[in-house]
Amino acid sequence: MFAITGRRMFGIQLKQMSGQRYKRTNFDDEDTLSNGGSTPPPMDFAPGIVFKGGMTVWERKTALERILLVLLVILSIALIVIASLLAVKQTEIKQVNVQPEYCLTAECITVASNLLSSMDKTVDPCEDFFQYACGGWIKSHPIPSGHSHWGTFEDLWQQNQLVMKNAVEKPEESMHSEAERKAKKYYESCIDANKTIESLGAAPLKRVLSMIIKNKSNSGWEIQDLLEEIHLLDINALFNVWVGEDDKNSSKNILHLDQGGLGLPERDYYLNKSISEDKVLKAYLKYMVDIQMLLSGSDEELRNETRENMIEVIKFENLLAQATVPASERRGIQKLYHKMTISQIQKEFPMLKWLSYFNRLMNTVNISVTNKEPIVVYSPSYLKNLTQILKTALQDDNGIKTVKNYLIWHVIKSFAPLLSKKFREAKDQFSEAITGVSGNDELWRSCITDTNSVLGFALGAMFVRETFHGDSKIKAEKMIEMVKKAFKNNLPNLTWMDRETRLAAIEKADAVVDMIGFPQYILNATQLDKEYSKLLINRSEYFYNNVRNLKYQLAKNFEILRKPPKTKAWSMTPATINAYYTPAKNEIVFPAGILQAPYYDQKFPKSLNFGAMGVVMGHELTHGFDDQGREFDKDGNLRPWWNNDSVTKFNERANCVSEQYSAYKLNGENIRGKQTLGENIADNGGLKSAYNAYLSWVQSNGEEMPLPAVGLSHKQLFFLAFAQVWCSSSTKEADHLEIVSDPHSPANIRVVGTLSNSKVFADLYKCRSGSAMNPKKKCEVW
């Protein structure tokens, strides 16, 4: 097989036949044998040849001989003509029988079969490309029991889970580091073969609660002590505190303070809802009561009292929800950023003794702060409202009791799922109201997921050794560079951007740091052991392993306050099927977990790799230039680096995207275009950059051989591969949760919304103007 280059050579044909090779050099010349000789030319009976004696040969023939000679010449000519016609006909037959060249490698055949089985060709691609691309996949992949959502990401995650299970269940002596053996111990503590979790029942949580409460009285400042104890367990009640890069000076770390503290996933679950009528609030109340009755006993009188107390807690959380700023109003980082000193915070929000609070937390890592310590406050309006909420609540004993119950409930809610089966079953019943399903994965799968969360880089070292071989990283780096180059090459085509801003954007794109696969240190036993040296793991203490991990993670975060931010510090473990962009570091990260089929395979056609993984790469790159990422310069500093005219024109185009997605509905509920704006911009920009990168690859390497049976060109396959990344289905409850809380649009909207803005897609699939997938109005930012 050979690749068709796109340039066809008319009149040349090679064919092997019976050991002789024939070639036609020119349609107007004679057939030539491979030995270099040629067939004799036709005899030329031209008159004018004279013999001695003055008589021509013709004249010396008898009449009969003349007649026979004429007949012989006529017959010869006829035979030559017939032979020529047969030769031409044979050539035509050979040309007709030449079949198109297809890619028939095992990978091409497999991927063609997968593409076809995932599609539903009864659907018009110009009306609903998601259903056209994924209808077959959805039919053949029903949502498994215990799941509210199922897609290609979850499908691959199960494969990764199996790889990690097989690795972590190997004998300890075969492992390369103590950190890996800790991962094995943690996994075994979760599997709990000796039924230790069941035998302990509620005892571990009761012990934690007794250590927190310490028989304190119901005074306002005792509430502060309780809050500090809870925050030292990394439980974000009332608000959230952490250490991270200073957005306006990415070379330094700084304390951050932001809103937080709701028991339900999002503020929408509280607002304008009745506890007695709303499905979710009723389930939440039942869960609160059931869990606490499992902790304290089954006395009916106590149940009624607990129920009344938890109703008050929900009302208190409702006040917090009203004060919480919705995600759609938190897109502009410049507007969110407020740097204040502790003394200024004390003056503005006198609900706590803030200096005492911060020193209590930071003393765990031997750091002290003063009233001059700078802190980035992201939601002053929330903290102002929270100050008033607490001031009102702490005026009487009932209010103090409610705040105390609220704080204690958040401890219970965090740790109850780590207890015995009865506690987990209560959680499953509550989850059904939010997700539409109850139950969980098989135990070993849940335990692998937990292990990945706690010791993900130790487990990741095992995963990498099993899966990430060869030159996968080098190939992925080359693809990123091509996508990055395509993004930069497109910038001059953006007439809305002025030259100065464009040059700065090119500089930022050039400065993006690519992180692929995994951090190298995890394959060094000494360095990996150092990473987890302060984390104690016991194979018979699942509950306390998690408590210790929370404290370990909190201390690990706090101890960087006086240190410069680390470059190339990974936030995702190697097995994770995802990718991310960090504005403050201008980094894009692609873990080994996602650099696998169906998103990426070195042996797949490049159209599929660029359509799937290439778009993911373009998506993360574009995040550096979405409505939030564009506020950070090439060094990761939050500052104005665009000219005002370009900002205005960018906002006009971003508003088009916001309005477009806000018009889409799922189960009758509108998508939140402002909330999902950054991800939608990244989807659209990523698709365009990846497609242009693929065209560049084709220009350098030639057209790829078509896949068998699919019936689509590789340019069409690029868009099909993009769509099939998002093949998935979910329950209505999960859809609602995604709409109200996720910064991403639902899967089908990501496909339909992005492709409907692409003129190239519409042309390739011949979608008429005005069709669902080719609307007359299109939105384009990048």
Burial of 575 (0-12, 13-18, 19+ CB in 10 A): buried
Give the model's pLDDT for residue 66.
56
Give the model's pLDDT for residue 78.
52
Residue with token string 């994770």: 576
Q: How many CB atoms within 10 Å of residue 384?
A: 14
Give the confidence band of 218 by pLDDT, cuts at 50, 70, 90: low
Give the model's pLDDT for residue 449.
96
Give the model's pLDDT for residue 94.
41
**CA 320/CA 240 separation, integer angstroms:** 13
**Torsions phi, psi for 550 (to 5 deg):** -60, -45
Give the model's pLDDT for residue 368.
97
DSSP 27: T
284 versus 84: the higher-pLDDT residue is: 284
DSSP 777: S
Give the model's pLDDT for residue 471.
77
Closest CA to 461 of 189, 191, 170: 170
Active-site residue flag, 683: yes
> What is the b/e burial string over 656-673, where b = at least 16 CB atoms within 10 angstroms of the residue's CB?
bbbebbbebebeeeebbb
Closest CA to 358 of 456, 442, 516, 232: 232
Is pLDDT above 70 for 59? Answer: no
Mean pLDDT, residues 495-508: 95
Mean pLDDT, residues 380-396: 95
Q: pLDDT (tens digit, 9 = 90+) per residue, 590-617?
A: 999 999 888 998 889 999 999 999 999 9
**CA 65/CA 497 separation, integer angstroms:** 93
Q: pLDDT (tens digit, 9 = 90+) per residue, 680-726?
A: 999 999 999 999 999 999 999 999 999 999 999 999 999 999 999 99
**Torsions phi, psi for 373 (to 5 deg):** -60, 125
Give the confidence band of 470 by pLDDT, cuts at 50, 70, 90: low
416 versus 37: the higher-pLDDT residue is: 416
Residues in the chain: 782
Give the model's pLDDT for residue 23.
32
Q: pLDDT (tens digit, 9 = 90+) per residue, 436-469?
A: 998 778 999 999 999 999 999 999 999 999 988 7
Domains with residue ranges and CATH for the chain = 14-97 (no CATH), 106-140+473-514+578-782 (3.40.390.10), 151-201+437-467+520-567 (no CATH), 202-419 (1.10.1380.10)
Q: CA angle, corner 111, sides to 110 and 112, nearest 5?
A: 90
Give the model's pLDDT for residue 55.
44
Q: pLDDT (tens digit, 9 = 90+) per residue, 288-330?
A: 999 999 998 777 778 899 999 999 999 999 999 999 999 999 9
Give the model's pLDDT for residue 35.
35
Give the model's pLDDT for residue 56.
44
Cβ within 8 Å of residue 768, ≥6 positions away: 126, 774
- What is the SS3 assignment for 593? helix
Give the confidence band of 387 by pLDDT, cuts at 50, 70, 90: very high
246 versus 70: the higher-pLDDT residue is: 246
Give the model's pLDDT for residue 296.
87
Candidate list 266, 620, 704, 733, residue with the active-site label: 620
495 versus 4: the higher-pLDDT residue is: 495
Instruction: Give the distance from CA 760 to its chain's centroid.
Output: 24
Is pLDDT above 50 for 51? Answer: no
Cβ within 8 Å of residue 748, ≥6 positions away: 130, 131, 666, 726
Cβ within 8 Å of residue 537, ≥6 positions away: 182, 185, 186, 189, 455, 545, 548
Is pLDDT above 60 for 377? Answer: yes
Candidate list 234, 631, 633, 683, residue with the active-site label: 683
Spell out the long-range contacts of 491-494 with Cβ–Cβ below 8 A and sequence spacing 24 or more.
494/782
Active-site residue flag, 620: yes
State how far the alpha carbon of 207 is from the alpha carbons of 201, 299, 405, 543, 663, in Å.
12, 21, 17, 11, 51
Give the model's pLDDT for residue 14.
28
With beta carbons less than 8 A apart as the criterion, state whether 371 and 359 touch: no
**CA 197/CA 191 separation, integer angstroms:** 10
Mean pLDDT, residues 146-174: 94
Is pLDDT above 70 for 65? Answer: no
472 versus 767: the higher-pLDDT residue is: 767
**CA 619/CA 686 separation, integer angstroms:** 4
Q: Which structure tokens are listed for 128?
A: 């609903």
3-state secondary structure string across 490-532? HHHHCCCCCHHHHHHHHHHHHHCEEEEECCHHHHCHHHHHHHC
Q: pLDDT (tens digit, 9 = 90+) per residue, 398-414?
A: 999 999 999 999 999 99
Give the model's pLDDT for residue 47.
39
**CA 754/CA 14 separation, integer angstroms:** 46
* Mean pLDDT score of the chain: 87
Is pLDDT above 70 for 8? Answer: no
